[in-house]
């Protein structure tokens, strides 16, 4: 999409979050900061909820909310971490550090600096199910040391992957997938703000297509509007039935096979984040495209790799990390 994403342009306030119980929890956390664990399925709005909390709690949320996607660490090389502009200043002159020491240092430095406004800042650790147990222990110590000036929010799909000492220091906030009616309410707010022609059954179709994934629903509505000029039942049906990811997957596989791993992973990120697909959905599409692309031993190897990734996805580890591993293996 060339236009600004509606997910960014219409980021919700705490009051606009679709889940009533989450609104209540976060309103309390804004008034009296406590550490939180937000857990729920992909696309239910965990990251958007934390950003809404930061805008409510901080006079300068741009600087007093620090977002760290765990995949930024555990799915990257030392060089990539060191050259990331968000972390580069923390790691000047520390090239001899191990990757683990780099991660611990960035966490400590992020927690240590003073808030720009108010008395505390918020650190979001997203996709936390991918954090190894030893790093969770290190995180627990950081949380204990800086609890007076830092609110930690851990977002995950799999709270069972977190160690008990970490969970015990956070208030749990379950985030269920929004219902169809709740999703329609969010879509209606956005299309009316955009002055888009729409019909209720069109919004309901998009909400059903997204199946509880709010990010996917918003992207679906925007794609329908940009393609057909309106969000009606017919427009949504024609757009969302024909808009697929096969071309993006083919492009991703082309890049992986040619050794352009950075480009392949960027496409993967687009599929997981921008398009709102789950890891399982991307893997299924890779297999579907692969069956028309490979044969013999190559196809058998693809199925073997996909089986390993499918097991990892089922166990709740990072979609991005394991699908990136699949791309690297295909490149090799």
Is pLDDT above 90 for 188? Answer: yes
Instruction: Looking at the structure, tell me whether residues 79 and 153 fall in a common domain.
Output: yes
Instruction: Looking at the structure, tell me whether residues 164 and 61 fall in a common domain.
Output: yes
Residue 193, judged by CB atoms within 10 A of its CB (0-12, 13-18, 19+), counts as exposed
Let me know if residue 38 belongs to a domain. Answer: yes
Is pLDDT above 60 for 2? Answer: no
Let me know if residue 3 belongs to a domain. Answer: no
**Full-model pTM:** 0.73
Is pLDDT above 60 for 1? Answer: no
What is the b/e burial string over 232-255, where b = at least 16 CB atoms within 10 angstroms of the residue's CB?
beebbbebbeeeebeebbbebbeb
Instruction: Looking at the structure, tell me whether residues 119 and 204 fall in a common domain.
Output: no
For every residue of 182-197, DSSP letters joined together read: HHHHHHHHHHHHTT--
Is pLDDT above 70 for 243? Answer: no
Q: Say if CB 126 and CB 69 are below 8 A apart.
A: yes
User: Looking at 207, 224, 242, which one is the last position of a domain?
Assistant: 242
Instruction: Looking at the structure, tell me whether residues 195 and 265 fall in a common domain.
Output: no
The candidate with the shortest Cα–Cα distance to 8, out of 274, 245, 197, 227, is: 274
Instruction: Looking at the structure, tell me whether residues 166 and 84 fall in a common domain.
Output: yes
Tokens of 280: 């399982």
Let me know if residue 12 belongs to a domain. Answer: no
Q: Which domain holds residue 208?
A: 180-242
What is each CA distance from 94 to 1, 70, 104, 141, 294, in whole angstroms? 39, 20, 12, 22, 44
Q: What is the pLDDT of residue 226?
A: 93
CATH of the domain at 193: 1.10.8.60
CATH of the domain at 108: 3.40.50.300
Instruction: Looking at the structure, tell me whether residues 53 and 147 fall in a common domain.
Output: yes
Instruction: Looking at the structure, tell me whether residues 225 and 161 fall in a common domain.
Output: no
Q: Report the DSSP beta bridge partners of residue 147.
A: none
Lowest mean pLDDT among 63-77, 178-192, 224-238, 257-271: 63-77
Tokens of 49: 């909820």
What is each CA distance from 214 to 40, 223, 295, 298, 310, in whole angstroms? 12, 14, 37, 37, 24
Instruction: Looking at the structure, tell me whether residues 205 and 277 fall in a common domain.
Output: no
Let me know if residue 314 belongs to a domain. Answer: yes
Q: How many domains does the chain have?
A: 3
- Cα–Cα distance, 110 to 243 (Å, whole number): 40
Measured in degrees and rounded to the nearest 5, phi and psi for residue 172 equal: -80, 135
Measured in degrees and rounded to the nearest 5, phi and psi for residue 106 equal: -60, -40
Of 5-14, 61-70, 254-263, which one has max mean pLDDT?
5-14
Q: Report the DSSP beta bridge partners of residue 258.
A: none
């Amino acid at each position: 999409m060339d236009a600004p994403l509606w997910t960014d342009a219409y980021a919700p306030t705490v009051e606009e979050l679709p889940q009533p119980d989450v609104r209540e929890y976060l309103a309390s956390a804004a008034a009296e900061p406590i550490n939180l664990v937000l857990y729920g399925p992909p696309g239910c709005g965990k990251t958007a909820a934390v950003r809404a909390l930061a805008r409510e709690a901080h006079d300068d949320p741009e600087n007093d909310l620090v977002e760290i996607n765990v995949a930024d660490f555990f799915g990257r090389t030392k060089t990539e971490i060191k050259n990331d502009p968000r972390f580069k200043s923390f790691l000047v002159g520390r090239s001899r550090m191990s990757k683990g020491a780099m991660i611990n240092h960035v966490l400590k430095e992020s927690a240590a600096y003073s808030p720009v406004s108010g008395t505390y800042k918020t650190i979001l650790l997203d996709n936390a199910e991918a954090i190894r147990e030893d790093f969770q222990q290190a995180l627990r110590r950081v949380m204990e040391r800086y609890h007076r000036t830092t609110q930690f929010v851990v977002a995950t799909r799999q709270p069972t992957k977190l160690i008990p000492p970490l969970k015990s220091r956070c208030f749990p906030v379950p985030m269920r997938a929004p219902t169809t009616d709740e999703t329609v309410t969010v879509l209606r707010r956005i299309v009316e703000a955009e002055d888009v022609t729409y019909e209720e059954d069109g919004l309901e179709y998009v909400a059903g297509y997204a199946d509880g994934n709010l990010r996917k629903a918003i992207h679906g509505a925007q794609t329908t509007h940009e393609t057909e000029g309106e969000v009606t039942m017919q427009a949504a049906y024609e757009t969302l039935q024909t808009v697929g990811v096969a071309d993006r997957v083919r492009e991703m596989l082309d890049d992986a096979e040619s050794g352009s791993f950075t480009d392949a992973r960027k496409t993967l990120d687009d599929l997981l984040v921008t398009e709102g697909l789950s890891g399982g959905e991307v893997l299924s599409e890779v297999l579907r495209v692969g069956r028309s692309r490979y044969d013999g031993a190559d196809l058998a190897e693809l199925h073997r790799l996909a089986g390993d990734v499918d097991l990892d996805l089922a166990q709740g580890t990072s979609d991005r990390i394991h699908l990136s591993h699949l791309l690297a293996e295909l490149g090799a």
